[in-house]
């Protein structure tokens, strides 16, 4: 936690950092077209995917948000690609990130891999309705024909139910889907993180969430989840959503903002891999801290 203390002062520091976040802030002459970083949420039914967005918005706005429908049905509620932006509490302006919520990884009705490929590349617009048998076509009104780097997915967040760990509950079919999708992401150098939700089911942190990074039980679960996805342990972010509470404690707020900051940093890592492409798009060359317009 970068030696943060779990108090209102640290909470204000994190909130200010997120409200002031700008994609690739250190890159002088960064293009205005990258107004937002795009984070794709993927997970199984009832993993806490939609609840995470609601928790993020609730913490930032300072009031309960239920804008994203939570999964409580037998099949995924996310039948379309929903793109969410969040307004800052003090600026009333959209913060510089978007969360893309798509249908879940299901046993029999999962998202088409060609649709995922189109989403990753920035072709799919907000509101596109998925058709399991037929992926999006170039003739669809929700198909973006010439996406820029600002339209692509910059980070993927796999949301995992901590009370039903994947090494036990993930079927071979779902595991195969995940591996196929990860190949698409790896080929595009897209960072992948794992959000481990419902950590209050772990006894050692149930009464004191601030101990989450020091709990042996959490660390053991982190390592198992990371292994099941073939990702490093440090990519796992423990999380407690506002599922059964109308108000957020300081600890939940801290954990939410800390995880969001790590997600934004991962998105920046993606953009750094394409710095030359970004500069070429704007015809700008950084030189001694100055911008040269060609």
Q: Region 174-186: what's the mean pLDDT? A: 92
The Cα 227–Cα 116 span in angstroms is 23
For residue 286, what pLDDT band results from cuts at 50, 70 and 90?
A: very low
Has residue 36 been placed in a domain? yes
Give the CATH number for residue 97: 3.40.50.300
Task: Indicate whether 290 pLDDT > 50.
Answer: no
Has residue 147 been placed in a domain? yes
For residue 140, what pLDDT band results from cuts at 50, 70 and 90?
A: very high
Has residue 210 been placed in a domain? yes
Q: Are 50 and 103 in contact (CB under 8 A)?
A: no
Domain count, the chain: 1
For residue 91, what pLDDT band results from cuts at 50, 70 and 90?
A: confident
Residue percentage of the chain with pLDDT more than 70: 83
Q: Region 216-239: what's the mean pLDDT? A: 93
pTM of this structure: 0.89
Task: Give long-range contacts, CB 8 A cutoff, 24+ apart: 126-132.
Answer: 126/81, 126/82, 126/83, 127/80, 127/81, 127/82, 128/80, 128/81, 129/79, 129/80, 130/79, 130/80, 130/81, 130/102, 130/103
C-alpha of 238 from chain center: 13
Task: Indicate whether 277 pLDDT > 90.
Answer: no
Q: pLDDT averaged over the chain?
A: 84
For residue 48, what pLDDT band results from cuts at 50, 70 and 90?
A: confident
Task: Indicate whether 285 pLDDT > 70.
Answer: no
Structure confidence at residue 289 (pLDDT): 41
For residue 284, what pLDDT band results from cuts at 50, 70 and 90?
A: very low
Has residue 2 been placed in a domain? no
Has residue 65 been placed in a domain? yes
Write the pLDDT tens digit of every residue in 114-123: 999 999 999 9
Task: Enumerate the β-bridge partners of residue 129.
Answer: 80
Residue 8, burial from CB neighbour count under 10 angstroms (0-12, 13-18, 19+) = exposed
Residues 6+ apart with CB under 8 A from 210: 6, 251, 254
Domain of 38 in residue numbering reads as: 8-293
The Cα 229–Cα 88 span in angstroms is 33
Q: Mean pLDDT: which of 10-14, 69-73, 191-195 is highest?
A: 191-195
Q: Region 281-290: what's the mean pLDDT? A: 45
Give the residue from 51, 54, 75 showing the smallest Cα distance to 63: 54
Give the residue from 87, 90, 86, 99 showing the smallest Cα distance to 16: 90
Task: Give long-range contacts, CB 8 A cutoff, 24+ apart: 67-72.
Answer: 68/101, 70/243, 71/45, 71/46, 71/47, 71/104, 72/46
Task: Indicate whether 132 pLDDT > 90.
Answer: no
Has residue 3 been placed in a domain? no
Has residue 116 been placed in a domain? yes
For residue 244, what pLDDT band results from cuts at 50, 70 and 90?
A: low
The Cα 16–Cα 14 span in angstroms is 5
Q: Region 23-35: what's the mean pLDDT? A: 72
Structure confidence at residue 294 (pLDDT): 31
The Cα 259–Cα 190 span in angstroms is 18
Task: Indicate whether 93 pLDDT > 80.
Answer: yes
Residue 224, burial from CB neighbour count under 10 angstroms (0-12, 13-18, 19+) = middle
Task: Indicate whether 76 pLDDT > 70.
Answer: no
């Amino acid at each position: 936690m970068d030696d943060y203390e779990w108090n209102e002062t640290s909470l204000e520091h994190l909130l200010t950092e997120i409200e002031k976040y700008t994609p690739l802030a250190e890159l002088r002459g960064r293009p205005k077209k990258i107004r937002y970083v795009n984070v794709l949420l993927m997970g199984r039914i009832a993993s806490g995917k939609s609840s995470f967005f609601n928790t993020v918005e609730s913490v930032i706005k300072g009031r309960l948000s239920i804008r994203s429908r939570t999964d409580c049905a037998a099949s995924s509620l996310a039948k379309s690609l929903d793109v969410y932006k969040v307004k800052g509490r003090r600026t009333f302006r959209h913060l510089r990130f978007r969360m893309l919520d798509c249908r879940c990884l299901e046993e029999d009705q999962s998202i088409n891999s060609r649709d995922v490929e189109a989403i990753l590349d920035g072709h799919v617009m907000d509101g596109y309705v998925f058709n399991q048998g037929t992926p999006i076509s170039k003739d669809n009104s929700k198909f973006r024909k010439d996406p820029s780097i600002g339209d692509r997915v910059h980070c993927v967040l796999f949301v995992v139910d901590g009370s039903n760990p994947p090494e036990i509950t993930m079927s071979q079919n779902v595991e195969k889907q995940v591996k196929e999708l990860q190949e698409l992401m790896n080929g595009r150098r897209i960072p992948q993180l794992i959000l481990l939700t419902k950590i209050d089911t772990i006894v050692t942190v149930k009464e004191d969430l601030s101990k989450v990074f020091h709990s042996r039980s959490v660390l053991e679960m982190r390592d198992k989840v990371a292994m099941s996805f073939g990702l490093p342990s440090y990519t796992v972010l423990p999380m407690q959503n506002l599922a059964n509470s109308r108000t957020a404690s300081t600890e939940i707020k801290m954990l939410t903002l800390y995880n969001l900051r790590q997600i934004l940093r991962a998105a920046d890592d993606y953009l750094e891999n394409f710095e030359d492409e970004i500069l070429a798009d704007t015809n700008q060359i950084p030189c001694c801290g100055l911008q040269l317009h060609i």
